A and B are shown apart, each in its own frame.
Chain A
Amino acid sequence: MLRALRRAADRRRQAHGDYAWLFYPYTGDELVAIDCQTTGQDPRSAELVSIAAVRLRGDRVLTSDSLDLRLRRPASLDSEALRLCGLRRVDLVDGESLDQALVRLLDFVGNRPLVGWHLDHALAILNRELRGRLGFDLPNARIDVAQEYLRQRRRSHLELGRQPRFEQVAEGLGLPVMGPHTALGNAVTTALMHLRLSRGALPVP
């Protein structure tokens, strides 16, 4: 509700801006899977470390057409967070500035629907940065693979355990985890999970 209101306001404000096209309804058949790595879990304080996005068309994951952005080292990136992301400080030395990265991401994503694992969490951080710089949130339609998975699983399992973990779900769906602990690898795996889930029910264990 709040999100819809906010989107309507953003749209009016951007109607004549550079990003007005982002608010048009999407008519193509592509999706974009995204994944972000951040310095922490709290969406209010965590900072972005890397962003990756990959397009899906039909039953294809267009890995040849993907976006993998490493950002310049954020101030709050301590060694604890580095360990979390599996990155080294060196990896981030020639990263991009956040402004550039967000512009490239917007160009890549366009108004296609977004697919992600716990998408809300990633988008909360992205939107915080976006709003500060460009003055709007990502208006795209959202598909959260984690939710999708839970919904399908609920059909076959009445009682539901805790939140499933990313790797477990991939294994359960018979999918390999592509390049674990990189944003692009996670994005590709998420894309595959979505393909798998959208094409048929979960295998009954």
Chain B
Amino acid sequence: MVDVDLSQPPFTFLDDEGRERIRRGIDLAYFDRDEIILETGQPGEYVFLIHKGEVAELDTTQPGAREHIGHYTQGDLFGAISILNGTSRYRFRAEQETLCYLLPKALFLQLCDAYPPFAEFFRQRLAHKTRLLTEQRAEGGVTMAGFMLARVNECMRSPLCVAEDSTIAEAVTTLHDSHADSLLVEGPQGPGMVTKTDLLNALVLDGQPQSSPVQAVARFELVTARPDQYLFEVLVMMTRAKVERVVVMEHGVPVGVVELTDVLSFFSSRSYVVSLEVEQADSLEALAAASRRTPELVRALMAQGVKLRFAMGLLAALNGRIINKAWGFLIDARYHHDSCLMVMGSEGRGEQILKTDQDNGLILADGLAWPDCAEQMQRLTDTLIELGYPPCPGNIMVSNPEWVGTESQWRSRITRWVERRDGDSLMKLAIMLDAHAVAGNPALLEGVRRSLFEQCAGDELLLSYFARPVLHFSTPLTLFGSLKKPQHGIDIKKGGIFPIVHGVRVMALERQVMVTSTLDRLDALVEDGRLEARFAEDLGEALALFTELRLRQQLERLDDEDGRRDGEPDRVVVQELSSLERDLLREALHIVKEFKQRLSHRFHLEYS
């Protein structure tokens, strides 16, 4: 009887007759701003279909900002679950004047009986939402899908220990009896690791007798983890340290061993396969093949709901290894100690998930004679392009002599940038601040960065200039707190990611925080007392959300490369998000706004 849009699910599960029954059966209700539509514990009498307006779903048991659990706008539907459950679990409140269609309970239940797919839709939603909520409430704000919550102690095997005076023969017997690949040997400074390979090498290659002590074969530089760490962190560790076993220590005593194969049985993804391929690559072609598979890995990790922070960690480690390998193939080993290849920008912060432009530079030790350096660097850049890292449009690459220099050259460059203080110099300073060594001798970069901090940290005027760009892009929120320009999408990079990253970078510079990743910087700033832990955590979560939304857009673009979706990857169309995501986005943008206000207060940006 009334024109109501029934072309969206779940109404698409009905036939014309069912839709007609809805049209005949619904009423209209009008709710004022802040009026409570459905109270917690109230029996559900209607399914509400919003014709116009906005409704918030509130969990009244949660304090303050966390009570917001859902947000519904035009075309959304709520109250169905209250009918299925009997009573409403949450409070629904009109955020704006809202016009709702009311579908009476009796009719809704009749339709559910008559059209099973229609009923199915609501059950599914229920499960989906419950999952979202458990994730959100998971201890300490850690959001991970079920399997990602696996901790080390769920996966480790008990350690196989032999006495410190055991012989190789005894060790082999023990290994054989317990079908293991490795064992621990007590040593003077703690336990050491012996693997089957070690034993074989000792017996066959070194020709040691079976009676020689196993301690001599053992390696004591162990990679260790705590039993309460996430399994995923261990995987990152293994990738980074190029080992296959991690010893789990508790109070200085080994309590278990995590083997790579065990971790893999937990993550049936390809993450390891890719990192293995990278490690095993013995030519540039093989490396390129492995490198091409990283987007696949990202997709697999995303599909499994891996928390972005860990995915970023793994990818940064992988990218670092790829570049390092390429460096190893191309650059003569005798230069390795006297030069340092650094990656900068998002790569330096370890926040790049898909391969973006290469931003890199080279630091040479003072007095190093490297005649064909320029040619070699040109080759390195070309190789990296082949490996799938597109060239940098700003030409911040080792092939550009401006980004190659000796230590003292770099120092004088930094001094010049600090003095000039114009936009270009400030940008270069920012890039340099995020630099991270991937190959060669990292001590060179350390030295350069230390002098950068020394020159800048105390310079209030420079800090103020440096912080100014944070305010360049307005946060896409109106004063009324609703998202601006919903149709055109919001630029998540300018509006969300950039202010956080740059703001945190400025603070890191001020407090001389050496780490480069934004999340690590936040942790360090909390420790320093510059930020309170709660706010830092909020900022981190907001950044993770923005990055995730952006990444999803980028992955979609990878899917159809002929450019059907030719928009910008940084633009997020709010309508395409689920109501929960919309709500999270709104919260996150509010946090960005608050952060900007703090920065502008701290660095006196009001007058600029």
Among A55-103, those with CB < 8 Å from B are: 59-66, 68
Which segment, of B22-30, B135-143, B586-594, faces chain A?
Answer: B22-30
Q: Is the beta-carbon distance between A60 and B99 smaller than 8 angstroms? A: no
Q: Is the beta-carbon distance between B32 and A61 smaller than 8 angstroms? A: no
| Complex contacts, B27 vs chain A, CB 8 Å | 60-65
A123 within 8 A of B: no
Cα-based distance from A13 to B28 in the complex (angstroms):
39
| Complex contacts, B24 vs chain A, CB 8 Å | 64
Q: Which residue of A lies closest to B3 (CB)?
A: A179
> Would you call the interface of chain B mostly helix, strand, loop, or mixed?
strand
Contact of A178 among B2, B97, B104 (CB under 8 A): B2
Category for how many chain A residues contact B: 20 to 34
| Complex contacts, A191 vs chain B, CB 8 Å | 28
A176 within 8 A of B: yes
Indicate with 1 or 0, residue by residue over B18-41, a CB within 8 angstroms of chain A CB atoms. Answer: 000000111111111000000000
B463 within 8 A of A: no
Among A171-204, those with CB < 8 Å from B are: 174-176, 178-179, 184-185, 188, 191-192, 195-196, 199-200
Cα-based distance from A188 to B2 in the complex (angstroms):
8
**Least CB distance, A93 to chain B, in whole angstroms:** 20
B127 within 8 A of A: no
Q: Which residue of A lies closest to B28 (CB)?
A: A61
Cα-based distance from A200 to B32 in the complex (angstroms):
9
Known: A60-B102, A64-B24, A176-B99. A184 touches B30 (CB 8 A): no
Q: Is the beta-carbon distance between A199 and B28 smaller than 8 angstroms? A: no
| Complex contacts, A179 vs chain B, CB 8 Å | 2-3
**Least CB distance, B95 to chain A, in whole angstroms:** 14
Cα-based distance from A184 to B3 in the complex (angstroms):
10
Q: Is the beta-carbon distance between A63 and B28 smaller than 8 angstroms? A: yes
Known: A174-B97, A176-B52. A59 touches B26 (CB 8 A): no
Contact of A192 among B30, B32, B104 (CB under 8 A): B30
Number of B interface residues, CB 8 Å? Answer: 19
| Complex contacts, A184 vs chain B, CB 8 Å | 1-2
Most chain B beta carbons < 10 A, residue from A60, A65, A185: A60
Q: Is the beta-carbon distance between B28 and A192 smaller than 8 angstroms? A: yes
| Complex contacts, A175 vs chain B, CB 8 Å | 52, 99
Q: Which residue of B lies closest to A176 (CB)?
A: B52
How many residue pairs, one in A and one in B, have C-beta atoms under 8 Å apart? 54
Q: Is the beta-carbon distance between A63 and B26 smaller than 8 angstroms? A: yes
B51 within 8 A of A: yes
| Complex contacts, B32 vs chain A, CB 8 Å | 199-200
| Complex contacts, B104 vs chain A, CB 8 Å | 64
Contact of A60 among B1, B29, B51 (CB under 8 A): B29
Q: Is the beta-carbon distance between A64 and B3 smaller than 8 angstroms? A: no
Indicate with 1 or 0, residue by residue over B86-121, a CB within 8 angstroms of chain A CB atoms. Answer: 000000000001010110100000000000000000
Contact of B2 among A63, A195, A196, A199 (CB under 8 A): A63
Q: Is the beta-carbon distance between B1 and A68 smaller than 8 angstroms? A: yes
Cα-based distance from A92 to B31 in the complex (angstroms):
37
| Complex contacts, B99 vs chain A, CB 8 Å | 175-176, 192
| Complex contacts, A195 vs chain B, CB 8 Å | 30
| Complex contacts, A59 vs chain B, CB 8 Å | 29-31
Q: Which residue of A lies closest to B107 (CB)?
A: A64
Q: Which residue of B lies closest to A174 (CB)?
A: B97
| Complex contacts, B31 vs chain A, CB 8 Å | 59
Cα-based distance from A60 to B27 in the complex (angstroms):
7
Cα-based distance from A122 to B31 in the complex (angstroms):
29
Q: Which residue of A lies closest to B102 (CB)?
A: A60
Cα-based distance from A68 to B2 in the complex (angstroms):
11
Known: A176-B99, A179-B3. A61 touches B29 (CB 8 A): yes
Cα-based distance from A200 to B101 in the complex (angstroms):
21
Q: Is the beta-carbon distance between B26 and A178 smaller than 8 angstroms? A: no
Indicate with 1 or 0, residue by residue over B441-455, a CB within 8 angstroms of chain A CB atoms. Answer: 000000000000000
| Complex contacts, B2 vs chain A, CB 8 Å | 63, 178-179, 184-185, 188
Cα-based distance from A59 to B28 in the complex (angstroms):
9
Contact of B1 among A64, A174, A196, A199 (CB under 8 A): A64
**Least CB distance, A6 to chain B, in whole angstroms:** 34
Q: Is the beta-carbon distance between A196 and B30 smaller than 8 angstroms? A: yes
| Complex contacts, B101 vs chain A, CB 8 Å | 63
Apart from A63-B101, A68-B1, what 14 extra A-B contacts exist at CB < 8 Å? A60-B27, A60-B102, A63-B1, A63-B27, A65-B27, A175-B52, A176-B51, A176-B99, A185-B2, A185-B3, A188-B2, A188-B28, A192-B99, A200-B32
20 inter-chain pairs at a CB distance below 8 angstroms, sorted by A residue, are A59-B29, A60-B28, A60-B29, A61-B30, A63-B1, A63-B2, A63-B26, A64-B1, A64-B104, A66-B1, A175-B99, A176-B52, A179-B3, A185-B3, A188-B28, A191-B28, A192-B30, A195-B30, A199-B30, A200-B32
